[in-house]
Amino acid sequence: MVGNSSLLGTPGWDDYVKRSHSDYSKKRESLARKNYPLRRAVPSDSKELAALARRSFQGYPFEGIYDPEKVRSGLEEGEYRLVAENRHGDLVGTAVLGIEPGNPMCEIKKVMVDIDYRVFGIGNLLVKTLVGDAYKNSCFPWLDARANTKGIQLASLNAGLTPICFEPGKHIVYSHLGCIWHKNGDFEDVDHGAEREAMVHFTGLPLNIKKDLRTISKYILKWPSYLRDELSDNLLNWSIPALPSETDYQISRALLPGPKQTAKKIEDFIINESNIEVKCVNDDVLRIEYNDGIMAVIKPDASAFIYNNPTKETLDLCKRIGLQAATYYEDISKTNQMQYLSDIGMDPIMLRPWKESKSKPVKWQVGWRKNMNGYEKCLHRKHDPIDPYKSGAMMKGIYEYLGEKRIPTGIIDRLRRDYLHP
- Domains present along the chain, CATH in parentheses: 1-160 (3.40.630.30), 207-422 (no CATH)
Residue pLDDT, tens place only, 54-64: 999 999 999 99
CA distances from 166 to 111, 145, 384 (A): 19, 10, 11
Model-level pTM? 0.85
Residue pLDDT, tens place only, 385-402: 666 555 556 666 776 666
- For residues 326 and 285, what is the distance between their CA atoms, to the nearest angstrom? 14
Question: Which range has highest mean pLDDT (154-158, 236-240, 243-247, 418-422)?
Answer: 154-158
β-sheet bridge partners, residue 85: 91
- In this structure, of 103-117, 214-228, 310-324, 404-418, the range with the lowest mean pLDDT score is 404-418
HEC string of the chain? Answer: CECCCCCCCCCCHHHHHHCCCCHHHHHHHHHHHHHCCEEECCHHHHHHHHHHHHHHCCCCCCHHHHCHHHHHHHHHCCCEEEEEECCCCCEEEEEEEECCCCCCEEEEEEEEECHHHCCCCHHHHHHHHHHHHHHHCCCEEEEEEECCCHHHHHHHHHCCCEEEEEEEEEEEECCCEEEEECCCCCEEEEECCCEEEEEEEEECCCCCHHHHHHHHHHHHCCCCHHHHHHHHHHHHCCCCCCCCCHHHHHHHHHHCCCHHHHHHHHHHHHHCCCCEEEEECCCCEEEEEECCEEEEEEHHHCEEEEEECCCHHHHHHHHHCCCCEEEEEEECCCHHHHHHHHHCCCEEEEEEEECCCCCCCCEEEEEEEEECCCHHHHECCCCCCCCHHHHCHHHHHHHHHHHCCCCCHHHHHHHHHHCCCC
- In this structure, of 12-16, 349-353, 370-374, the range with the lowest mean pLDDT score is 12-16
So what's the pLDDT on residue 244? 61
The total number of residues shown for the chain amounts to: 422
β-sheet bridge partners, residue 32: none
- For residues 180 and 365, what is the distance between their CA atoms, to the nearest angstrom? 41
- CB-based contacts of 346, cutoff 8 Å, min separation 6: 310, 315, 326, 328, 368, 369, 370
Q: Residue 113 pLDDT more than 80?
A: yes
Residue pLDDT, tens place only, 142-199: 999 998 888 898 899 889 998 888 888 899 999 877 655 556 666 566 777 899 988 9
CA distances from 286 to 75, 299, 325 (A): 22, 7, 15
pLDDT band at 422 (very low <50, low <70, confident <90, very high): very low
Question: What average pLDDT does the segment 284-298 reach?
Answer: 95
